[in-house]
């Protein structure tokens, strides 16, 4: 304990407050940006958010701080991975402190190792830092990795994009469809009572389609054999499988359902049934039932650089008639899908930090 205390005192003497960090939680004070030091107690490389727990000295006593970061996808782009920190590592970090000074909770701007290696919490900030320091910059941060076109549906890495290739607008709830989709009374009740606290990710539930068709993250399409197409996505606990044999056995009902596909010219058609009830699977805030059925059409454009889908979903439990939507992805450089164990602990850390 004395050794730990002396370490904190020595580090604290060399530190001062620095520039303001950023964070979305209103509970984190813009006027209380701190630089602190300590020893890593636990590094939680988890979905939906990454956390550090750090033992530090507070008012003469050892206190454990929870430090919130982005999701594993964002942290990977910034150069972090599951082995960036180990228990026992010395760490210095900067971030906004909780507005309650007695609450041992902070956001993160940057973290620094004992030998002076600094890691920022976003790819943009990390890139700027590496450029300023004249250090080697990973190719994925420079955006100059080669991107080859897809020659057929069922290959390559893709990321969602807006119509015409622009930025895909963020979705935080059912507002975009609340006055457009033909909801049943049960569906409308979910719209009226929407709360982010009900997000199924807090229970480590990953939705099936169609919502997961539009979810944030890197998608990888693959053709492991002549009769199968698989789709993997950042943080998914399993791949979606599209069977190209009509008589492929369906198996037990699931959130992903049973998907059968076929080609007509260069268009992939997919029919999916055999669903279970699923939370927020029709759209953000709207559930789906075991009665759901889904029909999708996929095609390429822009010489294989864009992938499009038009899907029609039916679910008499929540919709009075079928709904049709379109969505699209842009071709990405070959990469690696980010996987991280889901944790209800970190999910609830994130929700609880957002109190006002």
Tens-digit pLDDT profile for residues 230-284: 999 998 999 999 999 999 999 999 999 999 999 999 999 999 999 999 999 999 9
| pLDDT(15) > 70 | no
pLDDT in tens, 23-76: 356 788 899 999 999 999 999 998 888 999 999 998 889 999 999 998 898 898
Higher pLDDT: 348 or 97? It is: 97
Residues 300, 153: Cα–Cα separation, whole Å: 7
Q: What do you get for the CA distance between the two ends of the chain, in Å?
A: 35
Mean pLDDT on 138-148: 80
Global pTM value: 0.80
Calculate the alpha carbon distances from 60 to 1, 104, 223 in Å: 12, 14, 59
Among residues 85, 79, 84, 221, the alpha carbon closest in space to that of 139 is found at: 79
Angle, alpha carbons 302-305-309 (nearest 5°)? 85
pLDDT in tens, 161-214: 998 778 888 888 999 999 999 999 999 999 999 998 788 988 889 999 999 999
Q: Can you give the pLDDT at residue 353?
A: 66
Going along the chain from its start, the domains and CATH numbers come out as 2-141 (2.40.50.1010), 156-332 (no CATH)
Instruction: Give residue for tokens 């620094």.
Output: 112
Alpha helix (H) ranges present in 43-201?
72-77, 123-133, 139-142, 175-178, 185-192
Calculate the alpha carbon distances from 80 to 46, 52, 121, 238, 336 in Å: 12, 12, 9, 23, 13
Q: Can you give the pLDDT at residue 347?
A: 74
Q: Can you give the pLDDT at residue 227?
A: 97
């Amino acid at each position: 304990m004395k050794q730990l205390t002396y370490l904190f005192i020595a580090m604290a003497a060399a530190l001062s407050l620095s520039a303001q960090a950023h964070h979305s939680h209103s509970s984190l004070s813009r006027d209380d940006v701190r630089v602190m030091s300590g020893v890593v107690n636990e590094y939680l490389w988890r979905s939906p958010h990454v956390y550090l727990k750090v033992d530090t000295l507070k008012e003469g006593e050892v206190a454990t701080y929870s430090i919130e970061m982005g999701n594993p996808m964002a942290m990977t782009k910034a150069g972090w991975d599951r082995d960036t920190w180990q228990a026992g590592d010395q760490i210095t970090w900067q971030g906004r402190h909780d507005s309650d000074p007695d609450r041992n909770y902070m956001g993160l701007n940057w973290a620094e190792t004992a030998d002076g290696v600094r890691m920022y919490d976003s790819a943009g900030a990390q890139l700027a830092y590496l450029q300023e320091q004249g250090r080697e910059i990973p190719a994925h941060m420079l955006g100059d990795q080669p991107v080859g076109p897809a020659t057929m549906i069922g290959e390559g890495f893709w990321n969602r994009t807006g119509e015409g290739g622009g930025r895909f607008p963020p979705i935080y709830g059912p507002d975009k469809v609340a006055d457009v989709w033909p909801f049943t009374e049960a569906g409308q009740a979910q719209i009226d009572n929407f709360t982010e606290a009900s997000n199924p990710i807090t229970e480590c539930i990953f939705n099936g389609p169609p919502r997961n068709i539009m979810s944030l993250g890197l998608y990888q399409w693959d053709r492991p054999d002549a009769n199968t197409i698989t789709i993997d996505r950042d943080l998914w606990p399993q791949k979606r499988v599209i069977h190209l044999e009509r008589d492929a056995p369906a198996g037990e009902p699931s959130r992903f359902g049973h998907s059968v596909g076929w080609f007509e010219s260069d268009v992939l058609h997919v029919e999916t049934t055999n669903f279970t009830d699923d939370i927020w699977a029709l759209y953000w805030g709207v559930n789906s039932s075991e009665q759901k059925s889904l029909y999708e059409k996929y095609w390429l454009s822009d010489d294989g650089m864009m992938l499009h889908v038009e899907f029609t979903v039916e679910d008499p439990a929540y919709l009075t008639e079928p709904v049709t939507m379109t969505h699209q992805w842009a071709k990405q450089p070959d990469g690696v899908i980010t996987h991280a164990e889901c944790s209800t602990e970190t999910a609830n850390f994130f929700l609880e930090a957002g109190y006002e």
